[in-house]
Chains A and B, each alone.
Chain A
Amino acid sequence: DTAVSQTPKYLVTQMGNDKSIKCEQNLGHDTMYWYKQDSKKFLKIMFSYNNKELIINETVPNRFSPKSPDKAHLNLHINSLELGDSAVYFCASSQEQEGPGTGELFFGEGSRLTVL
């Protein structure tokens, strides 16, 4: 029973297209994230939502738009895809936003996006 699941796992598309990646967590966590991992394995935070509210928005182009219909789901829509968007996108969730606790992140398996 997967805790954080993302779909699709692989996505190959042409430049200029629009695509979405979906994420769902069944852990009952309040906070969800999108991270981008490039070809050199650098991992950078893109967005974070707490109870459907955007709390972290790093310097990400406006072409990327996250949407959280409820606290168990955080989807990522990307408009006008560019070659540089090719990466593995990881969804993650955690229980605490503030206060005590480890803030452990639980990651999905990643969605590999290839833009041709």
Chain B
Amino acid sequence: GEDVEQSLFLSVREGDSSVINCTYTDSSSTYLYWYKQEPGAGLQLLTYIFSNMDMKQDQRLTVLLNKKDKHLSLRIADTQTGDSAIYFCAETAYSSASKIIFGSGTRLSIRP
């Protein structure tokens, strides 16, 4: 089946790095995504990684993909208060390329 799992909460100190982890079950996923949801808003794509890549870096964001373990992580360097949000891991489903399956979301809170 298609399943994406994440831990529900993460608290980090401002300026530290945040690492949000995700495991998925569908090994045929073409793309894996990280979406960000701020309070009262819809989700916005933060970054994505193609399944034949191991790593992708985009400014403060680093995505690591371990296909063998079906593990995806998002590292946010120098975490700021504006990074407080819910972060969703997502994958394209084997059954349909247009179906994107979301994890439960990780709520990131920043301590001063």
Contact = CB atoms under 8 A, between A and B. Distances in A.
Interface string A1-31: 0001000000000000000000000000001
Contact of B92 (A41, A48, A92, A103): A103
Contacts of A41: 37, 86, 104-105, 107
Majority SS at the chain B contact face: strand
Given A41-B105, A42-B104, A102-B31, A50 B98 contact: yes
A105 B33 CA distance: 10
Nearest to B100: A105
Interface string B11-47: 0000000000000000000110101010011111100
A115 interface: no
Interface string A85-110: 00000101010111100111101111
Contacts, number: 68
A interface bracket (residues with beta carbon within 8 Å of B): 20 to 34
A45 interface: yes
Given A102-B48, A104-B48, A94 B98 contact: yes
Given A99-B97, A102-B31, A105-B43, 15 more contacts: A4-B42, A31-B98, A41-B86, A42-B104, A43-B102, A48-B99, A96-B97, A96-B98, A98-B98, A102-B48, A103-B30, A103-B31, A104-B48, A105-B45, A110-B41
